[in-house]
Amino acid sequence: ADNNLCQTLNLQRRSEELLYQPEVVRLYLSLLTCSHNHNTLEAAAGALQNLAAGQWAWSNYIRVTVRKEKGLPVLVELLRSDVDKVVRAVAIALRNLAIDKRNKELIANYALRELVGNLPCGQQHPAKNLEGDTVVSILNTIHEIITDSPENARALVQCQAVQKLVAINKSSQSTRETKAASHVLQTIWSFKELRNSLIKAGWNKSHFKVSVEKLMEKRKLGASRLTRILFSQYEGFLQATSERKHFIRAGRPAVGLMDNKPPPLDSWV
């Protein structure tokens, strides 16, 4: 039993080593560079996203390998895609890659403008009209890029991001979008060296936080909207059931439960 366990562990370790080889990274980057299939692009970006997740040794190795293999520019270029699922997968991959300090610097220099460009501005969504999950992923990536980096936060402000972030915080009907945008705003405001320039640009502390009351209001609004949807679906189900029963009754011959004619005199009944 011990020998079998050791063999299983060795096989698992060997499989992990094969999965995290530079050749695997090159393969995914080649797909991201050459393929025009949206499903392939999403899958390849998702694979890098998973390999670069977490804080263990293999993930650190993958983050460095992607940079050395010139993979960051490939991913940044795909942020310009018009396909929602591709943008989302790439944004999450960049977020995980940005855990590496050097990657974070490079992504801040070359990807911030593309990330901000994909954000909605209040009620006006960009031409891509990205889904809420994708917007949240982009906001989380931006948050990772500026965390512990006032330089990156300053670059974000220079990309005219504050206007969009404040608009999302104020106008979005999604609690998740509001929460993600408020985290980015709070992180920006936490850098004291940026506050003077922010105030000069017309912003103040109230723009960089979201009230608990506002979040609760949006959650209640979302819950009431969900209740209305479910109730509407239930009404539709009841109506469809009623119509089906009516159709069944109308389509079959009427059969009485009792025969009102008296039995013949010689009947055994």
Of 207, 197, 132, the closest CA to residue 162 belongs to 207
Q: 38, 69, 96: which is the final residue of a domain?
A: 96
Q: Please compute, for residue 30, the number of CA atoms within 13 A of its CA located in the half-sphere on the CB side.
A: 6
pTM of the prediction?
A: 0.74
pLDDT score for 133: 96
The token pair at 127 is 């031409």
Helix (H, G, I), strand (E, B) or coil at 225: helix
In this structure, the answer to whether residues 110 and 78 fall within a common structural domain is no
Whether 116 and 205 map to the same domain: the answer is yes
End position of a domain, from candidates 44, 78, 96: 96
What is the amino acid identity at position 148?
D
Distance CA 127, CA 120 (A): 9
| Residue 40 sits in the same domain as residue 74 | yes
| 180/204 same-domain check | yes
**Cβ atoms of 28 and 69 closer than 8 Å:** no
Q: Where do we find the tokens 């850098």?
A: 191
Q: How many domains does the chain have?
A: 2
Domain boundary among 165, 186, 211: 211
Q: Within a domain: residue 29?
A: yes
CATH of the domain at 53: 1.25.10.10
Residue 113 CA to residue 118 CA, distance in Å, equals 9
Residue 198 near residue 156 (C-beta atoms within 8 A) = no
Give ∠ CA 54-132-123 in degrees, rounded to 5: 140
Instruction: Kindly state whether residue 40 falls inside one of the protein's structural domains.
Output: yes
Task: Give the chain's residues under pLDDT 70.
Answer: 1-20, 122-127, 211-269
57 and 106 inside one domain: no
Q: Judge if 103 and 28 occupy the same domain.
A: no
Nearest Cα residue to 138 out of 195, 93, 170? 93
Statement to judge: residues 77 and 114 lie in one domain? no
Structural domain of 39: 13-96
266 in any annotated domain: no
- Please tell me whether residues 182 and 108 are part of one structural domain: yes
259 within some domain: no
- Assess if residue 49 is contained within a domain: yes
Task: Quote the Cα angle for 101-104-107, to 5°.
Answer: 155
Decide if 180 is inside a domain: yes
